[in-house]
């Protein structure tokens, strides 16, 4: 074996009516934040018409699914009551329910929001707390057949960046995710519904984030699908000395590295560019497999 890259396991992800084949090519998850305060696109898609235009663009740009969020989880973000979070995303989900072709995930830690989103046809629950804030999300996934993303976060958005420390960041995150998976399974979620995510930027220093990316193959002890969301995050800005609107190339580099390290899914703001970049990474992985 001469390739520098580990083989990316092929997996099936079940998400209600959708079955996604993971591993052959990278899945690009487009970000649609319907919030006034998200760190990079806050306020841009708040008005439903703007959000709907963006949904259409995502299809043209080659997105595989769309992640809709109504609460910012940036460091120090204030918590939002579920009713307000729901008001922000409901118009988008209502519109998507009228024949939008891509699967929709809802980025929420609250079962009240998730339940309503599932009623409007969402097929993936994206829980950035890894079931720590509201374990009922796992019951909803089990009952509905929705896929469930379990992400690692240290503390909560108000506390997560206060002196983050780990014994061994990759080991600690992997153990946390194993516990979240066990919790999901105990509530009836099947293996084919689960995706794990190291939570880039959620309670980590820049060094922790780079280490997690470098050690991605060690994150999934059982070859589970991995999602990585590095898009425009501050560790890139710190490294390059660039503000949030100047981090596109850094985001692409981080996502390509993640794919070569075994990520099945990347979460991105700049969809067109990300699709192009990860297709090249996919070709490199394919060449590695041919050679093996
Ligand atoms: N990152 C953010 C939000 N949700 N979900 C997953 N699974 N993985 C991530 O890395 C992730 C996530 C933060 O980014 P963004 O949505 O752009 O900002 P904000 O939380 O300020 O809305």
**Structure confidence by residue, pLDDT tens digits, 32-73:** 999 888 877 777 776 677 888 999 999 999 999 999 999 998
Indicate the pTM of the whole model. 0.96
Strands 18-22, 11-15: pairing kind: antiparallel
Average pLDDT of the residues in 114-131? 98
Confidence of residue 1 (pLDDT cuts 50, 70, 90): low
What's the Cα-to-Cα distance from 238 to each of 202, 205, 233, 235, 250, rounded to whole Å? Answer: 15, 10, 9, 5, 11
Residue 110 is a catalytic residue: no
Å from CA of 199 to ligand 1 middle: 8
pLDDT of residue 290: 77
Ligand 1 atom with the shortest distance to the CA of 149: 7
Q: Indicate the DSSP class of residue 231.
A: T
Active site residue 16: no
- Reply yes or no on whether the pLDDT at 292 is more than 80: no
Strands (E) across 24-145 are located at 27-33, 65-69, 104-107, 124-127
Q: Mean pLDDT for the chain?
A: 94
Distance CA 197, CA 135 (A): 17
Q: Which of 25, 54, 116, 267 is catalytic?
A: 267
Pocket test for ligand 1, best of 107, 127, 231 (most atoms within 8 A of CB): 107
Percent of the chain with pLDDT over 90: 81
The predicted-structure confidence for 208-261, as pLDDT tens digits, reads as follows 999 999 999 999 877 899 999 999 999 999 999 999 999 999 999 999 999 999
Task: Say yes or no: CB of residue 35 within 6 Å of ligand 1.
Answer: yes
């Amino acid at each position: 074996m001469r390739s520098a890259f580990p083989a990316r396991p092929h997996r099936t992800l079940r998400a209600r009516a959708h079955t996604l084949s993971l591993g052959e090519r990278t899945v690009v998850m487009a970000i649609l934040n319907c919030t006034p305060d998200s760190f990079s696109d806050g306020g841009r898609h708040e008005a439903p018409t703007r959000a709907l235009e963006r949904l259409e663009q995502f299809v043209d740009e080659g997105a595989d699914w769309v992640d809709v969020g109504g609460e910012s989880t940036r460091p120090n973000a204030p918590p939002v009551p579920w009713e307000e979070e729901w008001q922000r995303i409901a118009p988008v989900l209502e519109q998507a329910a009228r024949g939008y072709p891509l699967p929709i995930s809802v980025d929420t830690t609250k079962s009240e929001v998730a339940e309503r989103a599932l009623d409007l046809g969402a097929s993936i629950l994206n829980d950035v707390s890894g079931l720590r804030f509201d374990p009922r999300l796992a019951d909803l996934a089990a009952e509905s057949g929705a896929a469930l993303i379990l992400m690692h976060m240290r503390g909560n958005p108000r506390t997560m960046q206060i002196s983050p420390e780990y014994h061994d960041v990759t080991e600690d995150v992997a153990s946390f995710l194993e516990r979240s998976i066990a919790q999901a399974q105990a509530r009836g979620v099947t293996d084919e519904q689960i995706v794990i995510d190291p939570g880039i930027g959620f309670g980590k220093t820049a060094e922790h984030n780079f280490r997690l990316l470098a050690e991605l193959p060690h994150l999934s002890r059982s070859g589970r699908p991995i999602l990585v969301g590095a898009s425009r995050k501050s560790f890139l800005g710190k490294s390059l000395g660039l503000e949030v609107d100047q981090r596109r190339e850094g985001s692409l580099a981080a996502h390509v590295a993640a794919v070569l390290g075994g990520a099945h899914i990347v979460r991105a703001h700049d969809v067109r560019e990300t699709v192009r970049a990860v297709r090249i990474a996919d070709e490199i992985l394919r060449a590695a497999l041919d050679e093996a």
